[in-house]
């Protein structure tokens, strides 16, 4: 059974800050198919379309019939643990600092035999286990053997915590606390065990509904933060930037209509100023500090979360300029992910469908509630995901977009 993670002691400021060493990260294009699935929380292996063989490691052809018709299919991960071993020595810098490290050999019920990292609650062989895919600190898929029935403290496993961004005992910044979504995120982080939650408020003199409730929580501190003002972002980064472990950028401006229904560019500029340039200002100020603390113990800086929209994948004309601003933010977040990866900081992009808020009040259900969206963000942090699509609408749009982006564009232009 995993022992509960204890609250870490205060860091000695005289000691040097450890720098991140990443695990081996080289993968071929074919193997990146497993990484793409793991980024969304799925364990997939290649399956031959001709003979039905499930194979591992990934190859360009079926190892049984040599057919090139291979497709990635989700696996249950159920299998038998054949053997385990524990490494006490490694020449790799990443593993050398994290020894001992336990590995196991698992024969999946679907056929392949895998070498996997072992969760601490898995006993000795023989035993039944469940294999899952996670992203390591290099952002590549790795396989982990889990017990079929784990304890309540499974997430506190030392090895698993290296693969995830669990908020427990960490310090988080939520950039906008005045919205229902922001307040729901704050409550979800506190419930998940966050040590401190700083909550940004662009206009702290205003008395807005819900703020008093969340600021009454002992873990919550309200801080001035206006993402349209570079000085405001810079001052806050100078005050708390070296302490933040998780940044959650949920600030956004959302207006309806497209191009021809509104004169001028003022609204579009306001959307871009928060949704795109606000993210840019935040990344420039807080990004370097997170990268510098990415190996700073069990509560190191670990993740950056961007609240985007499913409209970023394909423009939704009734919300046209908002969709364009989120598409720009999506592109920028991909750049941020590339720059953060060498430091082991995970960038999580959240693509919800319509949220049940004031800007989507005329849209019919189904809509994502703020609480459901907040829980999806915390779940993504706990499971080490990169891309999350909360809500039925987001899932449907994603499937249609992957099937044929041009068809989806035509469907949206025709009203749905």
Bond before 100 cis per omega within 30 degrees: yes
- Same domain as 273, residue 153: no
Check pLDDT > 80 for residue 416. no
Confidence label for 252 from pLDDT (cuts 50, 70 and 90): very high
pTM of this structure: 0.93
In a domain, 17, yes or no: no
At 315 the pLDDT is 96
Average pLDDT over residues 26-41: 94
Q: Quick one: what percent of the chain has pLDDT higher than 90? A: 77
- What is the rounded CA–CA span in Å between residue 210 and residue 370? 13
CB neighbours of residue 181 within 10 Å: 26
CA atoms 174, 155, 161, 384: torsion sign: negative
Confidence label for 205 from pLDDT (cuts 50, 70 and 90): low
Residue 131 dihedral angles phi and psi, to the nearest 5°:
-90, 135
Choice between 3 and 312, residue whose per-residue pLDDT is larger = 312
- What is the rounded CA–CA span in Å between residue 121 and residue 414? 53
- Same domain as 81, residue 125: yes
- Same domain as 249, residue 189: yes
In a domain, 289, yes or no: yes
Q: Taking Cα atoms as reference points, which of 346, 363, 365 lies closest to residue 254?
A: 363
Q: Chain centroid to CA 386: how far?
A: 4
**Are 169 and 73 spatial neighbours (Cβ–Cβ below 8 Å)?**
no
At 146 the pLDDT is 96
- Same domain as 181, residue 153: no
Q: Taking Cα atoms as reference points, which of 278, 324, 282 lies closest to residue 304?
A: 282
- Same domain as 190, residue 148: no
CB neighbours of residue 123 within 10 Å: 11
**Cβ density class 212-238: b for 16+ within 10 Å, e for less:** eebeeeebbeebebbbeeeebbeebbe
- Same domain as 201, residue 67: no
CB-count burial class (<10 Å; 0-12, 13-18, 19+) for 247? buried
Helix (H, G, I), strand (E, B) or coil at 189: helix
In a domain, 218, yes or no: yes
- Same domain as 219, residue 151: no
Check pLDDT > 70 for residue 1. no
CATH number at residue 356: 3.40.50.720
Query: Using one digit for the tens of pLDDT, what is the confidence trace for 348-377?
Result: 999 999 999 887 787 888 999 999 999 999
Q: Give the domain-ending residue among 162, 194, 211.
A: 162
Question: Residue 74's domain spans which residues?
Answer: 32-162
- Same domain as 288, residue 153: no
Confidence label for 309 from pLDDT (cuts 50, 70 and 90): very high
Q: Which residue has the tokens 């600030």?
A: 251
Confidence label for 389 from pLDDT (cuts 50, 70 and 90): very high
- Same domain as 82, residue 155: yes
**Are 118 and 102 spatial neighbours (Cβ–Cβ below 8 Å)?**
yes
- Same domain as 332, residue 366: yes
The long-range contacts involving 96-103, CB below 8 angstroms and separated by at least 24 positions, are 97/18, 97/21, 98/158, 98/159, 98/162, 101/159, 102/159
Mean pLDDT score of the chain, rounded to an integer? Answer: 92
Q: Give the domain-ending residue among 162, 183, 209.
A: 162
Structural domains in the chain (count): 2
Check pLDDT > 90 for residue 33. yes
Q: Give the domain-ending residue among 131, 162, 193.
A: 162
Query: Using one digit for the tens of pLDDT, what is the confidence trace for 167-177?
Result: 999 999 999 99
At 224 the pLDDT is 94
Check pLDDT > 80 for residue 328. yes
Range of lowest pLDDT (21-30, 105-114, 239-248): 21-30
At 372 the pLDDT is 97
Check pLDDT > 80 for residue 18. no
Average pLDDT over residues 27-46: 95
Confidence label for 3 from pLDDT (cuts 50, 70 and 90): low
Average pLDDT over residues 168-195: 95
Choice between 17 and 153, residue whose per-residue pLDDT is larger = 153
**Are 175 and 225 spatial neighbours (Cβ–Cβ below 8 Å)?**
yes
Helix (H, G, I), strand (E, B) or coil at 193: coil
CB-count burial class (<10 Å; 0-12, 13-18, 19+) for 86? exposed
- Same domain as 245, residue 131: no
- Same domain as 94, residue 211: no
CB-count burial class (<10 Å; 0-12, 13-18, 19+) for 288? middle
**Are 393 and 143 spatial neighbours (Cβ–Cβ below 8 Å)?**
no
Check pLDDT > 90 for residue 11. no
């Amino acid at each position: 059974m995993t022992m509960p993670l204890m609250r870490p002691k205060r860091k000695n400021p005289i000691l040097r800050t450890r720098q991140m060493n990443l695990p081996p990260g080289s993968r071929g294009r074919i193997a990146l198919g497993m990484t793409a699935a793991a980024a969304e929380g799925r364990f997939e292996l290649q399956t031959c379309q001709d003979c039905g063989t499930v194979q591992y490691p990934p190859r360009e052809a079926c190892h049984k019939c040599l057919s090139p018709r291979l497709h990635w299919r989700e696996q249950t991960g159920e299998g038998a643990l054949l053997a385990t071993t524990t490494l006490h020595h490694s020449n790799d810098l990443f593993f050398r600092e994290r020894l001992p490290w336990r590995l196991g050999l698992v024969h999946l019920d679907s056929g392949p035999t895998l070498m996997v990292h072992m969760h601490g609650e898995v006993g000795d062989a023989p035993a039944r286990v469940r294999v899952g895919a996670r992203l390591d600190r290099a952002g590549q898929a790795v396989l982990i053997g889990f017990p079929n029935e784990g304890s309540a403290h499974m997430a506190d496993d030392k090895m698993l915590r290296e693969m995830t961004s669990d908020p427990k005992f960490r310090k988080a910044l939520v950039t906008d606390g005045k919205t229902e979504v922001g307040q729901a995120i704050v409550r979800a982080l506190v419930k998940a065990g966050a040590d401190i939650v700083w909550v940004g408020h662009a206009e702290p003199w205003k008395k807005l509904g819900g703020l008093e409730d969340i600021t009454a929580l002992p873990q919550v501190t309200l801080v001035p933060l206006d993402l349209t003002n570079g000085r405001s972002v810079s001052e806050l980064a100078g005050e708390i930037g070296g302490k933040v472990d998780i940044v959650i950028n949920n600030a956004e401006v959302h207006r309806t209509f497209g191009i021809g229904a509104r004169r001028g560019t003022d609204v579009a500029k306001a959307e871009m100023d928060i949704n795109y340039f606000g993210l840019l200002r935040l990344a420039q100020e807080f990004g370097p500090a997170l990268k510098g603390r990415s190996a700073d113990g069990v509560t190191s800086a670990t993740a950056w979360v961007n609240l985007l929209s499913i409209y970023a994948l394909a423009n939704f004309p009734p919300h046209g300029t908002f969709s364009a601003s989120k598409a720009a933010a999506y592109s920028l977040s991909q750049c941020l992910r590339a720059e953060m990866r060498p430091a082991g900081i995970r960038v999580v992009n959240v693509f919800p469908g319509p949220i049940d808020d004031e800007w989507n009040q005329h849209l019919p259900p189904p809509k994502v509630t703020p609480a459901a969206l907040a829980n999806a963000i915390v779940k993504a942090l706990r499971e080490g995901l990169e891309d999350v699509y909360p809500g039925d609408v987001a899932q449907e749009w994603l499937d249609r977009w992957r099937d044929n982006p041009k068809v989806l564009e035509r469907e949206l232009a025709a009203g749905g």
